[in-house]
Amino acid sequence: MFQKAVAPITERLSKQLGHMPEYTTLFIPSIFDYNVRDAAASAVFGDYFDRAVRPGWTREATCPGFGFLEGKNLGRKPEECVDGGPVNVILVFEYENDYLYAWLMEVEFELQTYPVILKEICKECGESFQEEIDEEAYKKRVNTFLHNFINDQVMRTHQRDSLRAIIISGEATTPAITSLGVMAKQAVGTETVKIMTDIDPPEVVAHGAAVWARLTQQIPQVFMPDAGNGISPLGHDEL
């Protein structure tokens, strides 16, 4: 299935570039499991054990494009953006037609990663469900999901001030994404949390994937299976 999906893309790129493209990153929707991810990686990176690549889930590509690891967009002083400083967590929402997936991810400066702390999916909060019920009832459903995730789960382990940014990715329409951002910020209830709008939601994952692609070229040893650093070329799920 994946080979059939990739083949026409490869053909078009080969004609445009004049040579066969070499893929270095692949991110698939977070609703898929390891088996699907590995099958996709095998189809796209037939030789991925022989070179530096980075397969993963879309959630892993949401944060890298916003510079959090460099201390940007956190509302902190530079000296605070270190391990041992204030905790910084990011709310990530994957907003699609069929579902709404919420993630709480922490900024780990030393490890240069964003481990997943919490996750929750609402399969009845995708934008398409607004057609089944009226707009007010749909917004109430989404708002309830947000408040339950933020106030009942996130607040059990984190202070409200630790929430520093909100990222929304996905193919939902602009009005729906705007509404989600407003409700999420209200649920957090602080002035310091920032809704990230520098990158359009449909492009968030693509930007993050581009960051990873650059890293595979700059530090390929990190992404090789024999690097001796305990990092699998297929990555890992921190939760």
> Does 65 or 89 have the greater pLDDT score?
89
Angle at 81 between CA 80 and CA 83, to 5 degrees: 95
Beta bridge partners of 105: 90, 116
Residues 6+ positions from 58 with CB-CB distance below 8 Å: 27, 28, 29, 30, 94, 169, 205
Q: Are residues 93 and 194 in the same domain?
A: yes
Q: Are residues 103 and 172 in the same domain?
A: yes
Quick check: is 232 in a domain?
Answer: no
- Taking the C-alpha atoms of residue 176 and residue 134, their distance in angstroms, rounded to an integer, is 14
Distance in angstroms between the alpha carbons of the first and the last residue of the chain:
28
Cα 222 to chain centroid distance, Å, stands at: 20
Quick check: is 197 in a domain?
Answer: yes
The pTM (predicted TM-score) of the whole model is 0.76
Quick check: is 98 in a domain?
Answer: yes
Write out the two tokens for 203: 């492009």
Written in H, E and C, the secondary structure of the chain is CHHHHHHHHHHHHHHHHCCCCCCCEEEECCCCCHHHHHHHHHHHCCCHHHCCCEEEEHHHHCCHHHCHHHCCCCCCCHHHCCCCCCCCEEEEEEECCCCEEEEEEECECCCCECCEEEEEEECCCCHHHHHCCCHHHHHHHHHHHHHHHHHHHHHHHCCHHHEEEEEEECCCCHHHHHHHHHHHHHHHCCCCCEECCCCCHHHHHHHHHHHHHHHHHHCHHHHCCCCCCCCCCCCCCCC
> Does 97 or 1 have the greater pLDDT score?
97
Percent of all residues in the chain with a pLDDT value above 70, rounded to a whole number: 68
Most confident by average pLDDT, 58-62, 181-185, 216-220: 181-185
pLDDT of residue 228: 44
Q: For all residues of the chain together, what is the average pLDDT?
A: 80
Beta bridge partners of 117: none
pLDDT of residue 3: 53
Q: Are residues 26 and 85 in the same domain?
A: no
What domain range includes position 219? Answer: 2-58+203-223
What average pLDDT does range 96-105 have in this prediction? 93
Residue 207 near residue 215, CB atoms below 8 Å: no
CATH of the domain at 70: 3.30.420.40
- Taking the C-alpha atoms of residue 65 and residue 67, their distance in angstroms, rounded to an integer, is 6
> Does 6 or 140 have the greater pLDDT score?
140
Residues 6+ positions from 120 with CB-CB distance below 8 Å: 101, 102, 145, 148, 149, 153
Q: Are residues 105 and 46 in the same domain?
A: no
Q: Are residues 37 and 142 in the same domain?
A: no
Q: Are residues 164 and 87 in the same domain?
A: yes
Please tell me the total count of domains within the chain.
Answer: 2
Residue 91 near residue 167, CB atoms below 8 Å: yes
| Per-residue confidence band for 209, with pLDDT thresholds at 50, 70 and 90 | confident
pLDDT of residue 231: 39
pLDDT digits (tens, 9 = 90+) for 56-87: 667 778 888 899 999 999 999 999 999 899 99
Q: Are residues 13 and 66 in the same domain?
A: no
- The type of residue at 200 is D
Most confident by average pLDDT, 28-37, 58-67, 185-194: 185-194
